[in-house]
Each structure stands twice: as C-alpha cells, then as structure tokens.
Structure 1
Amino acid sequence: MLSLKTKLVAYGTAASVVFGIASYKLLEKEGPTASQKNEVLAKVLMQGLSSAHYSPERLDDDLSKKAFALYLERLDYNKKFLLKSDVDQLAKYQTQLDDEIKNGSFKFFDLSMALLNKRLKEAEGYYKEILDKPFDFTKDESIEVKPDKIKFATSQAALKEEWRKYLKYQALIRVADAIDSQQKADTVGNQEAKKTPAEMEAEARKKIKESYDDLFKRMSQLENEDWRSTYFNAFANVFDPHTEYFAPKEKEDFDIEFSGTLEGIGAVLTEKDGYIRVSEITPGSPSYMQGELKAGDMILKVAQGSKEPVDVQGMRLDKAVTLIRGKKGTEVRLTVKKVDGTLKNISIIRDVVVREEGFAKSLLINGPKPIGYIQLPAFYADFNGTGGRNSGDDVATEIEKLKEENAQGIILDLRNNGGGSLQDVVDMVGLFIKSGPVVQVKSATGAPAVLEDRDPQLQFTGPLVVLVNENSASASEIMAAAIQDYKRGVIVGSSTYGKGTVQQFFNLDQVLPATFNAVKPLGHVKLTTQKYYRVSGGTTQMRGVTPDIILPDTYTYLKYGEKEQEHALPFDEIPAAKFSAWQSPSLPMDKLKNASKARVSNSATFSLINQSALRLKERSESTLRSLKLTTYMAEEKKNQAEAKKLEEARKSIPQLDVATLKADVKKLAADTSASARFSAFTRNAKKDLYIQEAVAILKDEL
C-alpha cells in the first residue's frame, strides 16, 4: 500500500494532467500576455474545480446564482456600503457569471468594484459627519446587530441613518466601559480626576474616528486584485467551504501558519498612520540575534543586498512584509528611525524563524501516580521539506520525556486544534496502538484507501485521555475517532467541529506550459479531493466526534461547526475496516462515565458554565440592542454579575500541582522569553477545569 505522502504526490500528478489538458487550449498557441492573466486564472481554476473536486459542480446558471450570493455577502457583509439599487444592478448578472468565466469576461466584477469604491467614498463622508456631533444616549432607540436580519438600505439617507446607529452603538459601548471603569476605580480609592459623561462621549467619538480613519485608509489601499481573490473564492466555496483559491502571498502565509516556521528576519510589524513599525521581535530570530532592530522602531526603507532601497512609507503592510521576508542566507538592509529620532541602517541576514508557541509542549501533573499533559495546538508539518518540525515526531519526543519522569497516564489536549497533516495523525495514533488501520480515505470514485500504522511497537501503553472541543477539527477528529474506535482511550469534552474532508494544494503554475510564463505566478488552489472515514465506517463530516464523556461548555448551545456552513458535503458511511480493538486492559467506560457525571453534577463551576452557555444562546438569538445608555448599562451589569459568579467559582478551584519536565528546565533557563511564555502556559494549565476533570478520569482508571 502506498504511504499517504506517496498517494498525494501520485494524485497530484494525475490532477495536473486534468488541470493542464484544458489549460493548453485557453488561448493562442504562442501563449497569453500579462494582461490576460485573470482570464487564464479563471479558466484554469474552474477547469480544476469542475474536473478534480470530490463532488464537482457544473458551471451553469445554478452555480452562478450560488456564487453571486456568496460574493455579495462577502463584498458587503454588514450592509453598510451598497444600496439596494446597487444590489439590483448587480443581480442582473446573477445567472451570467458562468458565461463570463467561459468567455474571459469580468464585467460583473468590474461593476461591483466601481459601485463599492463609489459607496466607500460616500460612507467616508457619513462617518466623519456623524462623529462630528455628540450622540444623545437618553433617546430610546435600538439597533439590529445581526447582518442576516438587516436589509440593504433603499436610499443614501437610509444608509446614513444606519451608519448613525452603528457608530452610536460603538460609542455607547465605549462610554459604558468608561463609566464602569471609573466606578470601579472609585471603589478602590483612585484619586485620578473624574471625567464627565460628556467628556467620555467626546473621547469615544474621537477614538472611533481614529479607528475609522485607519480602516478607510487601509480599504483605499486595497486593489481590485485583492478583491478578485474574494470573487474567485465565491465560485470555489460553492463546491464546499474548504475549497479555496490562494493568491501567491496568501499561500505563503498559509504555509507559515501550518509549519510554524518562515524565512525572514523575525520581526512582527504593524502599520499606523502610513508608517511600518516594529511591534515585537521574535526570540531567537535573526533580528533578535543581530540585536539592533527594536520594538518601536519605524522602518522607512528596505533594500535587498546591495540593491537600491525601496521607500516603504505609506506602503501597504502586506507589500512591505513581502519585501522584508526572503530566503534563508540572503541579506536585507533596513533604514529605520529609532524611538529617539535617530536614523540607522541595519543589515540582517535572513534565516528560518520558528514560532515555538505553535508546537507541542508538555507538563507533569504531580501525584502518587504522576500524569503527563501534552498540548498540541495543530498537526503541523514541514510541508515544503525545508527541515522544519513535524507534530508526530514532537509528540513522540514529549511522550519519551514524560515516561522518563514515570508518567502513569497521559492527557493529549486537542482543544482548538484545527487540524493539519494527515500523515502526522497516522504516526501519532501509532504511538498508542500496536498496528492497524487509522483512517479510511476515499476519492470520488474507486474503493477507499486504508491508511495504516504498520509499526507494531507501542510507545505508550498506559491510560489515555484525549481532550476535544467544538474547535477540534479535521486531523484532530481523525485522531480522536481512531482512539475512540480502538477503545484505546477516553475522549472527553464537547462534540467536535465535523470536518471530514481532505484537501490538497495544487500549484497552478505547474499545470501550465512555459508559453504561459507571462501570467505567472497564478497562485494555488486548495481542493477537496477526498473524504475520510473512521475505521468503524462512519465519517466525521457534519457530525463530528461525540466524546465518551461530555462536559458542559460555553458554546454547547450555539449553532456552530461544519453543519452550519453553506455548501458543506453531506454525511455518509462506508464499510468498516478490519481492526482489533484495544484489549489490555479494557476500558471501564461505564465506571468512568458515572464517576465523571457525579463530579460534574456536584460542581458549582460546571453548573455556572452551563448557565453561561444558555445565556449566550439567548443573547445570540436576541440581536436587537438598546441605544439608550441606562438600558444598555443595566443589561451589561446583569451580564457582568453572572460572569463574575463564574470567575469567582473558577478562582476557588484548587490548582493542579504541575511541574516543568526536567528535560525542559535547562533549555528554558537559557531563554528568558521562552521561559516567560512557558510560565504562562503552566499557569493556565493549573487552573483549567477541563484538564482537572481529565486528571480525575485518569485517576479513576489508574
């Protein structure tokens, strides 16, 4: 059987043929010019979607209408720019978008940009005029805050009124917060001069205006090409919510997010008032090691090696970042203005920058029978083969460190883990089972492929708890499902997200011949090519993984997950794979469930969490907000009182006795920044109610 990585490469080659066959026929034999890039991109993208997607859609009027609806929603989600007349004008094209793609036309897109840019200029006038006058918070009026319940304004006057309420609501929140903060300061004897409500209101308007000045400046810097990705993705997302087009820069950012590494200088940048500023230096990065670039420095110019510098003042942040990032070993020269006003030229050699906070880390929970805790934020992997880290290897390392300290049980925390590398899931499940199938993967046609752990060696044989929540998705769900099907451990928490599809990236440049070089780079498409199934035969698609032991969660009653996404692929089942469940020892599941249920029932904190979840559900359904200060503050005080009950209950919980692993102590002692981050991780783990219940469950089993 092919390994997963081999299978993906093999499939990618076949898909390249599917993409490429049609691509060669797009334009003249001599190839397109740069001005024809968008026509080529649209046709290659749609050919790939229609030919290689797991559940392909026909490029017809029905798809056109669906893409139109998605694009309109993303163009003006809050309905604060376009008028109904604009929407009506655009709607004339809603069954013609498929024809435009086929003909290489962008009339609809160009019209949408013209209308949006016109309305942006008008809206800029609205907010400036509205924020120039005080708001009356004694007037009894309200605002609808859920975009789905709002209709597009029928006139400029009506839209301006929507803006008035929208800005008033933001000012109301700021004023209420200021009053609340001042009242709290009074209770502790703060002697600072008190502000009047009028002063608070004026300050709120000033801050909001500054925020919108910045927002509209950034929006004015957006080019049509930035919006074109949104347009293409409206088509892609009709196929399913996880099929996406990535412009070249977006793909680079995606790789950084999932690998935890990038090649650059290791400085976090922000843009304010037209200037690029350094907000943070990443510990251990080239900037950190070079030592001259500091937080607060303003970057004025960027030069590549010995080339002429480029002025970045007034430049969009993403474009400046592109200039500063670069390949390992190359030189970038920065002209910076220091905090004291002096100018300095700084030369930095780029290198691989590692984001340590995104990697697996562990703690030991002390007791007569110590328990190991591993937090895994993502199933990260070195997708580009540049020598980066893989989550499977890292978790194996953490397990060995825990075994050296006699950990009798392990908690693997996959909460808020959105997924990542499927191969690392297979490797990781293999750490806890002898051998056998981990997941079944099925393309649109043909029999399912069974991805197996073939290594009979077990790295850990003790009791295992896997923590999950509603943000545990994709690869996390495969991991939890496999452990559950094998009865190898106890899944604890809340039902997972419900993403049971497999995506693959295709570089669109690689499916076009050299005659198309003038239009490259085109970017990538992330395409849903397969669905995955549990070894027991069901898919996690739409339904997720239901924990063996369900714990109350703040988001329990909210509409959330894959099942709430537009155009999500349906749930289905296939025959189970052949596998042998864990036998030695078998899980006393009924005993563990009953003991946990008793603890949760007697827990005031879990009871308050459930009450909080019910309030959150009620608030999400009741979306009309008062714009009267006294009414708003009364509601907020009620919410704060309920939240304080939960906060106080959490404070009263005895903290876990946790320890840093001996293998980590020396490393952390040599890096004060890493040590500070690890201390924060430790503090949070000590008082985490869900980790505490996981510990109690393991103790019941031990």
Structure 2
Amino acid sequence: MKNFIHTFHKKLQLLAAILILSGVLVSFTYEINTSPDPKKDKVLVGVLRYILKNGHYEPKDVNDDFSKAVYTKFIDEMDPVKRYFIKSDIEEFSQYKYKIDDQLKREDLSFYNLVMERFYQRLEESSTYYKEILAQPFDFEKKEQIKMNYDELDFAKNKNELIDSWRKQMKFNVLNRIQVQLEIEEDKVKEDSTYVKRDFATIEIEAREKTLENINDFYERITELDHTDWFSTFVNCMVEQFDPHTTYFAPRIKEQFDINISGKIEGIGARLQEKNDYTKIVELISGGPAWKQGDLEVGDIILKVAQKDEEPVDIVGMRLDDAIKLIKGKKGTEVILTVKKVDNSIQKITIVRDVVELEETFVKSSIAIKDGKKYGIINLPKFYIDFENPDGRNSGSDMEKEIEALKKENIEGLLIDLRNNGGGSLKTAIEIGGLFIDKGPIVQVKYRGNSPSVKKDTDSDMQWDGSLVILVNELSASASEILAAAMQDYKRAVIIGSNQTYGKGTVQNVIPLNKYYNYPDDLGAVKLTIQKFYRINGGSTQLEGVHSDIAMPDKYSYVEIGERDLKNPLAWDKIEKANYEEMDFYKNFDQVVNTSKERISNSEEFTKINEYAIWLKQAQENNSFSLNFEKYIEEEKEHQAEIDRFKDVFKHESNLEFQSPLKELDLVKKDSSLAAKREAWHKNLKKDIYIDEALKVLSELEPKNNKLLAKK
C-alpha cells in the first residue's frame, strides 16, 4: 500500500496542472445583517416573555441558570461543530453568561449582537481556509484520527488549531467520497469486465472538487440568510428552554407552518427534521411512496438528493425548506436519496414520487388465520378527525365500523396496531377507548394551575368484549399512549411491543403574537405547551410513556429516540388517580404474559435482534475515525462485516395467512390499485415477527365472560 500511495503522490504532481477546483477564485463577502427594525426585535422579546410567563404550562424562572442555558445553546446553534469560534471568542462571550436574563428583561440584545458580529467575522475568515486546504492533496499515510463528538470537544485555542480542525474535517469528507467511489469502480468492473478502473489519483482529485463544490454551496446559502433567520435562532434558544415542543415561528416560517412544523415532504411521504447540519427522517407517512418502497426508515439521515439521470446534490448543511424543494416533485418522477442508515452504512434509495393517498392514513383491517381460527387486525396510522365537517370521517367512528364488520366474521380476538402512530385527536382516542369498556374515565387533562379534568367514555355499550392486544413501539406517541395507557390501567388489553412508547404527554397550541401586541408588522407565532396528559392511574405519560406488558427487542431499543432524549423535557409527575377499577377481564392474563416473555427470551430471532440493537447503539457512539487511508478502509470493512452479520436479522416468515375482510372483497375486485396495496400489506404482515408474537398472545387470552363469543 505504501508504494501505491507514493505512486499516487507522483501522479498528483503530474495532474496538478489540470487540477480545477471550481470556486477557488470565488470571494465571499459578508455584511452583518443588522436588524432593519431594532424596535421590532425588542417588542418580540417582550411579547414572548409575557406569553411564556403567563401561558406556558410550567414557566421557568428567568434567572442565572436560564441565562447560562441560553448562552450555551446559542453558541452551540451558531457553531455546532466548532469550526468558527476560537477560545478567545468564547472568553469574550462569557462576560454575558449570567447576564442574559437581565438583558432580556431590559430587551437588551448586546450578547446577540456581539456573537453575530464575531460569527460573521469568523465566517469570512473561514471561507479561505477550506479552499487552501482542498487545493492540495492530503497525506493519507499519516496516522491521525478525527473525533466527532463535538459536544465534548473544546473550541480551538487559536486560528492554527482551528485551521487544523478544518483540515481534518475536509480530509474526512474526501476519504468518505474516495471510499464510496472506489466501491463504485469495483461494481463497474463486475458488471463489465472490459471496464478500466480510474486510478486513485483521479478519484482523489474528483473527491476534493466535489467537497469544495459542496462547501461553496453551503457558504452561498449562508449569505442568503437574513436578520430574521438569525434572530429567530436566538429567540428559539430562549423559548426552547421551557420545553422541546415550545417553539417560535418567524412570519415566513408561520406561513409555511404545515411544512416546517412537521417536515412534510409531499413527494415521498416522509416527515423530516433539521438537526445541526443534517436532515433526518422522523416519520414515514403510512401509504406514502417511501413507506411503500420500504427501504427508508426513521432515524435515517439524507446526505444527497438526485433527480433521475442527474448528478446528486449534497444537502448536508442545507436548510430544511431548500432540501424539501429538491425532494418534492411531480407524481411519477424518480428521486434518488443517498442516506446514512442508523447502522452508519451508506445506501442509495430510489423512490417514485406520488401523492400521499389520504385513504391510506385511515383505519384499515385484515383477517389473520391462525390454527384455523380468525383474528382481526386493525391498523390505526393516526387519530384523525375533520373539525370543519362534522359528518366527515374520523378514527373513532371508522374504528367502530371496522369492529362491527370483523365481528360478523366471528373473529376470536382483536389486535390493534399503533406502531408509528404519533397521535392526533384526543376526542377520537377517548371514543376508541370507550369501544372496549362499559363506561368510565379514559384520560386526565390538566391546565396550569387548574385541577385535572377527567375525560370519560359515557356510552355504556361495549363494542368489543373479546380478547384485545395492542401493539406499540417507540414511535407510538401522544393519543396512542393515552389509548394504550387506559387499556393497560383497566387491564383490558395486553400491551406488547417496545420497552416503552415515545413519552409525549403534553399538548401545544399555536398563538399569533400580534394577538397580544398591536404591532404594524407580523411578529410571527409561538407554539406553546399549555396542557399535560395523565393516565387514569394518576401517572403522567410524559417521559415514561407506556411500558409494555410484554417487551420485544427491536432496532430502536437502545437508540435515543423518545421524549426523554430531547433537551429540556417537562418532568414526569403524578396526580390523584381517577375513579375507576380494573376489569378483571381475563382468566389467564398473567400466565399469557409470562409465557410470551419466556418465548421471546428463548427465541433465537429475538436474541439476534437484541444483539443488533446493542451493536447499533455502540456503532452510533463511535465518534472517532482514522484519517489514515489503510486504517480507514480497514475500519470500513470491519463495519461492513458487522452490517452483513445482521443483514438477515429481520427476515421472518410466519405460518399465518392474511386476507381482506368480507366487506372489502368487492372493492378489492373492482379496484386493482387497492388490491395491490392489500396484497403488499398482507405480505408484510406475514413477515412481521412482532405481529406474529402479538397474535400468539391474542390466541392464548381467555376472557372470563365474553358475550359475543358465547353467541357463536
């Protein structure tokens, strides 16, 4: 390898004359985006302080601790990977560490102005660093590492140390590109034996060119940000100290609320979140193109976006709304996403854009045939309701209809799948809970300073009085947790799935700021936490979520993905329990739960999944990478070997059969599109190890007094 590297350096000398790094001569000039309306900034700070103090569920004291938190957060937001500020800057900023609270009370923005002035200065200086670094080949024989746990790293002591940090980051980026391109070259040889691989020197030059183009684009995008963008960042550093769901929306962001609050990408059916320099998948919309394609997963990070037959665009560092523009597109067109998977592998995923069909976000059901008996499965993607149309569809009435239809087919038990259901209408969650009990409380809701309000099911009819199992995972949140918690507290259903659900036990409301201050310009809006949910047993669903009666290992078991992993979440607490009693519904509840736990513990498949989850956590915690080419390739091969070891971890094939309910058969015959969707769903159900175990539990439960089954 050393001879190879030496030869590479000689070739580079010959190729230096033709090295064209686009943008080398581009000059970046930054002008400090001072506020066009300083009075508006002060008004904004004052109005937000008033609303947060008087309207937030759990207001915080604006004191020295608050000041320190805002100080730390803002510097981290401005320089998350420590590539701009140096220690002397931080020392200068630190004079304000415990003064920001007092400044905010006086609507004094001295800290913000100082940090922004220095940021623009360092930004302009840094625009020369990377171009000089990328103009020369890297020494790939040098034994060195890059550490990327930036939260734990200190700022550079001086500019020389800062430039060396830039060098390591650029070298790592180039190494990544080289490694990927070398694999592409090998694949081309396998496809075409006559193909002549490009040499290392050519690939290395191209990798530096592409890296430079990407960073140039990043700097150009930064110049497009105006004062409103930067000041919104500062304001949110203040607002988000109250809790992670309280957020300020600048006027432009408020106008694009549906996109920015949820990251909805209409073209592929995914919800994204902007985190530091990265665009992360936080939800797949049921029935959407990405969901149907099957390769994109929650937790994946999108690195590049390419249109069919076009060069990919690197979106690392890109604003979320700019990334959205690249990913969105006309129905039927292809988009190719280069993503970093949760296991750190890089994968290209091709998705055909489509309109997310509303029908696929509604309740749907299937019949599972197990040992000659029928069991109903209801998939509930979200708790939906049409507030503008009282006669429109809602998940409560739809669920009731599905259960009625399934009862006519003499099912032995019912499984409700709430996996990945992020919540929705509280009203429909209460209605659905009422389908499985005579009547009684479902949830408690509390406003700040008020006594809890007990929300009840008042209908004495029990729509389904048979065995009930509810399947959840780490992404089951809010209204999903309310339903699961109520059924668990009544001991009406077995809750099976992840160790615990997401843990979002708060409610937010969007408040236009001009409602509180008559200002001629739009001040924007604040999404404010105003309520908290409590189970009927008195415990909050906040942070704790719902702990499954039967926990099954999955890929997210050890990954930071829930409310508890966010910054500044509201605490768990407990209030007085509501007036209810456990239903004592089953003859063998504890026995079935223990049998399932033993089955899972002895399962080779679940053992392998747990090993994979542990490895995933370890892989994510590895923040140190070699910058020596040989060592880097060796580490990548070792990592790929681990990925290959777990490649079949979720390959499962049950002996279950699935079919559409009778009420849907005529529709399936007439609608080939619906038939294809149901066929795909049933195929996935058959391969789903979690559905398999949930149905085993369902088949073993014995209700003490099942009127419906007694009528058979």
State the TM-score bracket (shorter-chain normalisation).
0.7 to 0.9
Contact 1:498 1:563 in 2 (8 A): yes
- Code of the aligned partner of 2:636: E
**Residue in structure 1 matched with residue 502 of structure 2 by the alignment:** 497
2:105 to 99, 102, 107: 102
TM-score when normalising by structure 1: 0.75
Deviations 1:122-179 (A, max 9, x none): 3333333333333333322111111112211222222222122122223323333333
Give the corresponding residue for 1:170.
Answer: 173
On the 8 A contact 1:260/1:359 being kept in 2, the answer is: no
Which of 402, 409, 417 matches 2:413? 409
> 2:187 & 2:91 partners in 1: Cα distance?
51
Q: How does 1:169-318 map to 2 (within 5 A)?
A: 169-183=172-186, 192-251=195-254, 253-255=256-258
**CA RMSD, Structure 1 to Structure 2 (Å):** 4.2
Q: Deviations over 1:557-611 (max 9, x none)?
A: 3455333433322222122111133344x16233322332343234322112111
Partner Cα distance (1:671, 1:218) in 2: 47
After superposing the two structures, state which structure 1 stretch, 372-381 or 573-582, moved more: 372-381
1:38 aligns with 2:41: yes
Mapped to 2, the partners of 1:248 and 1:673 lie a distance apart of: 41
- Alpha-carbon deviations, 1:293-322, whole Å to 9, x = none? xx9999xxxxxxxxxxxxxxxxx9959999
- Number of the residue aligned with 1:71: 74
SS at match of 1:420: coil
How far off its partner does 1:549 sit? 0.3
- Partner SS state of residue 166, structure 2: helix
CA shift, 1:670, in A, is 7.9
Q: Which residue of 1 aligns with 2:583?
A: 582
Match of 2:521 in 1: 519
Choose from 137, 156, 160 the match for 2:159. Answer: 156
CA distance in 1, matches of 2:566, 2:143: 36
The change in CA–CA distance for 1:397 and 1:629 in structure 2 (over 3 A counts) is farther
SS of the residue 1:166 aligns to: helix
Helix, strand or coil: the match of 1:496? coil
Q: Residues 633 and 656 from structure 1, CA distance in 2 versus in 1: closer, same or farther, beyond 3 angstroms?
A: farther
CA contact (8 A) 2:189 2:197 kept: no
Alignment correspondent of 1:659: 659
1:371 and 2:375 aligned: yes
Q: Measure the CA separation in 2 of the matches of 1:556 and 1:259.
A: 24
Q: Is 1:700 equivalent to 2:700 in the alignment? A: yes
Secondary structure of the residue aligned to 1:695 is helix
- The answer for the alignment partner of 1:142 in structure 2 is 145
Question: Match of 1:123, SS?
Answer: helix
TM-score for both structures, normalised by structure 2: 0.74
In structure 1, the residue matched to 2:626 is 626
- Structure 1 residues 188 and 63, CA gap change in structure 2 (3 angstroms): same
Distance between the aligned counterparts of 1:99 and 1:214, measured in 2? 39
2:515 — aligned with what? 510
Aligned to 2:87: 84
Contact 1:536 / 1:575 at 8 angstroms: preserved in 2?
yes
CA 1:169–1:680 in 2, change beyond 3 Å: closer, same or farther?
A: farther
> Could you tell me how far apart the structure 2 residues matched to 1:386 and 1:162 are?
60
Report % sequence identity.
Answer: 41
The answer to whether the 8 Å contact 2:189/2:195 transfers is no
Question: Number of paired residues?
Answer: 603
What is the match of residue 547 of structure 1? 548
Render the CA deviation track for 1:351-395: whole Å, top value 9, x for unaligned.
Answer: x99655555444443443333333334434456779976444444
- Structure 1 residues 381 and 233 mapped into 2: Cα distance closer, same or farther (>3 Å)? farther
Unaligned 5+ residue runs, structure 2? 1-35, 273-286, 289-306, 311-318, 335-354, 703-712
Is this contact kept in 1: 2:652–2:687, CA < 8 A? no
Residue identity matched to 1:611: E
The Cα of 1:649 is off from its aligned counterpart by 4.4
Which structure 1 residue ranges, 5 or more long, are not aligned?
A: 1-32, 271-282, 285-294, 299-315, 326-337, 340-351
Higher mean Cα deviation, 616-625 or 386-395?
Answer: 386-395
2:640 aligned with 1:637: no
Question: How far apart are the structure 1 equivalents of 2:391 and 2:212?
Answer: 47
Other structure's SS at 2:596 match: helix
- Match of 2:484, as an amino acid? A
Query: Equivalents in 2 of 1:205, 1:378: separation in Å?
Result: 46
1:422 to 426, 429, 446: 426
Change (3 A) 1:201 1:410: farther
Query: Matches of 2:55 and 2:246 in 1, distance apart?
Result: 11
Q: CA offset at residue 438 of structure 1?
A: 0.9
Alpha carbons 1:36, 1:519 under 8 Å: kept:
no
SS in 1 for 2:650: helix
CA contact (8 A) 2:269 2:356 kept: no
Cα 1:463/1:258, change in 2 over 3 Å: farther
Contact 1:260/1:355 (8 A) holds in 2: no
Q: C-alpha distance in 2, partners of 1:137/1:569?
A: 48
The answer to whether the 8 Å contact 1:408/1:462 transfers is yes
Corresponding position: 1:130 with 2:102: no
CA distance in structure 2 between the aligned counterparts of 1:249 and 1:402, rounded to whole angstroms = 48
Deviations 1:655-680 (A, max 9, x none): 75333456567767888877776665
CA displacement 1:189-242 (0-9 Å, x = unmatched): 765443333343333333333333333332221222122222122112222222
User: Which deviates the most, 684-693 or 405-414?
Assistant: 405-414
Q: CA deviation at 1:406?
A: 4.8
Partner of 1:484: 488
Measured in 1, the distance between the counterparts of 2:62 and 2:262 equals 35
Is the counterpart of residue 688 in structure 1 residue 669 in structure 2? no
Distance in 2, Cα, partners of 1:426 & 1:664? 27
8 Å Cα contact 2:172-2:627 kept in structure 1: yes
Task: Name the residue aligned to 1:30.
Answer: none
- 1:12 corresponds in structure 2 to none
Task: Classify 1:464/1:136 alpha carbon distance in 2 versus 1 (closer, same or farther; 3 Å).
Answer: farther
Q: Within 1, Cα distance between the matches of 2:670 and 2:196? A: 45
